[in-house]
């Protein structure tokens, strides 16, 4: 039997604040996370593994109105965007790793109140609230650190173990085995066009009778509504 050369597949994502379901479906796309490397290489020959490693970009220029500092949740009256205020950088082209979080507007209190109000009656909010509340009490200096720790928490609660690390420099060109999704998962872009592999799988939402199903909201919408079954939804979404 001829030995097949194994080419490591990687995907680049932007840092994100409580990113949408699509983002975590991309993280979960490696369905063999935690499985022995030899088995993973075997499955790769049958295209069962989407990629092996995720790089989170931290050297791109910070741009407002992206998921880097913004998430969208389901409020009683419809979608609600929550944005983290940032300190205005000294230069227009400031790398994300240097962006500091501002204390303007008491945003931690406002965000936690919004999350509590929106999801207090969901099946799993009380179960997870003690995991999330400390993030709205502790002051983080840098946005990328806050996003990273929240992402690790969400991954652990959903029970996925993607192989993630931050970039060490900005990459502008990519090999055939590298996918650049840094600007494709974006609140202003159509996910159906940008990420056709992502399939929206409707799940229970607490305001669904009033609002209908709202697709691709923040991962906390899925987690607070579906709890441990969130993993099953993600697995069916990619």
* Structural domain total, the chain: 1
pLDDT of residue 28: 78
pLDDT of residue 102: 97
User: How far is Cα 129 from Cα 144, in angstroms, rounded to an integer?
Assistant: 22
Helix (H) or strand (E) holding 83: strand 78-83
User: How far is Cα 221 from Cα 217, in angstroms, rounded to an integer?
Assistant: 6
Any domain includes 184: yes
Any domain includes 193: yes
Cβ neighbour number for residue 52 with a 10 Å cutoff: 21
Per-residue pLDDT of the chain (238 residues; tens, 9 = 90+): 344 455 678 999 999 999 999 999 988 765 444 445 554 444 333 333 456 889 999 999 998 899 999 999 999 999 999 999 999 888 888 999 999 999 999 999 999 999 999 999 999 999 999 999 999 999 999 999 999 999 999 999 999 988 899 999 999 999 988 999 999 999 999 999 999 989 999 999 999 999 999 999 999 999 999 999 999 999 888 7
pLDDT of residue 6: 52
Quote the domain boundaries for residue 48: 10-235
Any domain includes 5: no
pLDDT of residue 96: 96
User: How far is Cα 71 from Cα 236, in angstroms, rounded to an integer?
Assistant: 22
Any domain includes 2: no
Any domain includes 190: yes
Cβ neighbour number for residue 62 with a 10 Å cutoff: 20
For tokens 């507007």, the residue is 105
DSSP letter, residue 128: H
Cβ burial, residue 6 (10 Å; 0-12/13-18/19+): middle
pLDDT of residue 64: 85
**Contact of 3 with 199, CB cutoff 8 Å:** no
């Amino acid at each position: 039997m001829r030995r097949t050369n194994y080419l490591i597949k990687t995907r680049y994502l932007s840092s994100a604040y409580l990113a949408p379901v699509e983002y975590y479906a991309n993280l979960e796309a490696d369905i063999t996370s935690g499985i022995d490397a030899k088995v993973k290489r075997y499955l790769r020959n049958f295209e069962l593994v989407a990629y092996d490693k995720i790089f989170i970009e931290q050297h791109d220029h910070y741009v407002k109105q992206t998921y880097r500092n913004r998430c969208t949740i389901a409020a009683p009256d419809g979608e609600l965007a929550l944005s983290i205020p940032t300190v205005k950088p000294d230069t227009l082209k400031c790398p994300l790793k240097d962006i500091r979080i501002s204390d303007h507007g008491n945003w931690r209190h406002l965000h936690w109140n919004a999350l509590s109000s929106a999801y207090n009656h969901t099946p799993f909010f009380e179960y997870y609230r003690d995991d999330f509340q400390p993030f709205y009490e502790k002051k983080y200096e840098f946005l990328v650190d806050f996003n990273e720790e929240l992402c690790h928490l969400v991954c652990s609660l959903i029970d996925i173990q993607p192989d993630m690390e931050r970039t060490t420099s900005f990459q502008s060109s990519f090999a055939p085995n590298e996918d650049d999704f840094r600007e494709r998962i974006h609140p202003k872009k159509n996910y159906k066009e940008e990420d056709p592999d992502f399939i929206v799988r409707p799940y229970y939402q607490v305001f669904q009778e009033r609002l209908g199903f709202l697709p691709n909201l923040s991962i906390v919408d899925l987690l607070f509504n579906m709890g441990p079954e969130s993993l099953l939804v993600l697995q069916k979404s990619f």
